[in-house]
Amino acid sequence: MQNHGWQVEVDRVAQAEWEEMLELFSDANFYQTWSYGRVRWGSKNLSHLVLKRNGEVLAMAQLRIVRPTILKLGVAYLRWGPLFERRGRPINLEVASNIAQALEEEYVRKRRLFLRILPNAFVGSVRAEVMRSAFSCFRGEPSTADNTYRTFVLDLSPSLEDLRKSLDRKWRNQLTRAEKNDLKVIAGNGPEEYKIFCQLYWNMRNRKTFETTVDVKEFGRIQDEIDEPHRMRVLICEDKGVPVAGLVASAMGDSAIYMLGATSDKGLNSKGAYLLHWTLIQWLKANRVRWYDLGGIDPEGNPGVYHFKKGFSGADVCQISLLVACNSTISSGIIKAGLAMQRTLRGPLNLTRSFKQFATRN
């Protein structure tokens, strides 16, 4: 694509330049950082596409390439992208349409891959409508409970006073209790804070013995190598000098995502989690972050966490359907066969868990 001043560059950008370009976009997010891709998938499995017009970067996308056979066939995964909202500019359908065209041309037509996009867009938003129009030639996978990311998103544009008033009354009362408990919050983005969080998390897992797809060590490796501006924010709540609760969140572009949380029995009693989230909201407001994604909800599978997050009074939203495109019957067949094999070998429960791992972390 080189008409009308548009240029597409594929796998020509270095990591340092990629991380700098992320700062141009209000829809930048943790899953599109090079460090996340390298640690999670491996450098050799990454591909980076950049869309420019007259030399100006207007859109970009990091993808994972999976080739399960020796043939040049397989899958291209795009997690929470593409990025096409430049900071300080209105969302642009022309840019979105051109990045959709570039992705299809490179990964579907040229490489003959099955392209699967998990879009960073929620039903009912302007971005969702723009993406539906721009990616109209892609198919949407039917939405089910297993392949839908549902979450609460809190609009941080009101004043802190109004945000506090909008909290559920019980949630607000618990926050008030926490503020009276002489707790101390330590915040940072270095290895020491994350190490303290991990200890809290492991202790909680040993105590509650719950199943999870989260790998806190993997997130730690990402935190160690990611650029300073993109590191996750770690908050630790101390009660008389003892860590009792922890929170990890990523803030990039105009949004933040609640990534990880851990609480000890003492932290539950002192209501440390309430104080941590409110402290984070204050920091996000000070740093002009507009949206706070509370990291996913499962009302039936995890009602306790659901009710805790509901107390923020954010909007209950679902991500739009996954977008797929493929011109290769062989690549498409590989995907369908793989999903069928998962259903046969793992059964419905494990398949659901497997997909949710992809939907929230891949």
Q: Which residues in the chain are classed under CATH 3.40.630.30? A: 3-147+319-361, 151-317
In which order are the strands placed within the sheet that holds 114-118? 6-10, 46-53, 56-66, 75-79, 114-118, 323-325, 139-140
Which among 150, 260, 250 has a CA at the least distance from the CA of 214?
260
Domain 3-147+319-361 is found in CATH 3.30.70.20:
no
Per the CB < 8 A criterion, the answer to whether 330 and 160 are in contact is no
Q: Is the pLDDT of residue 342 over 50?
A: no
Helix or strand (DSSP H, E) at 270? helix 265-270
Percent over 70 (pLDDT), the chain: 86
- Measured between alpha carbons, how far is 110 from 97 in angstroms, rounded to an integer? 18
Mean pLDDT, all residues of the chain? 89
pLDDT tens-digit readout, 267-315? 788 999 999 999 999 999 999 999 999 999 999 988 999 999 999 999 9
Domain 151-317 is found in CATH 2.40.160.20:
no
Q: Label residue 166 by pLDDT band (50, 70, 90).
A: very high
Q: Label residue 4 by pLDDT band (50, 70, 90).
A: confident
Q: Is the pLDDT of residue 214 over 90?
A: no
Of 21-30, 65-74, 159-168, 245-254, least confident by mean pLDDT is 65-74
Task: Give the orientation angle of helix 15-22 with respect to helix 34-41, to 10 degrees.
Answer: 130
Q: What is the pLDDT of residue 143?
A: 73
Q: Calculate mean pLDDT across residues 142-165.
A: 90
Task: Give the orientation angle of helix 216-225 with respect to helix 34-41, to 10 degrees.
Answer: 140
pTM score: 0.88
Q: Label residue 336 by pLDDT band (50, 70, 90).
A: low
Q: What is the pLDDT of residue 207?
A: 77
Q: What is the pLDDT of residue 67?
A: 84
- Measured between alpha carbons, how far is 193 from 186 in angstroms, rounded to an integer? 8
Q: Is the pLDDT of residue 355 over 70?
A: no
Q: Calculate mean pLDDT across residues 149-169.
A: 97
Per the CB < 8 A criterion, the answer to whether 351 and 343 are in contact is yes
Q: Calculate mean pLDDT across residues 315-325.
A: 95
pLDDT tens-digit readout, 223-246? 999 999 999 999 999 999 999 999
Residue 66, both tokens = 């999976």
Per the CB < 8 A criterion, the answer to whether 231 and 255 are in contact is no
pLDDT tens-digit readout, 94-123? 999 999 999 999 999 999 999 999 999 999
In sequence order, which residues have a C-beta less than 8 Å from that of residue 152 and are 6 or more positions away? 293, 294, 297, 309, 310, 312, 314, 315, 316, 317
Q: What is the pLDDT of residue 327?
A: 81
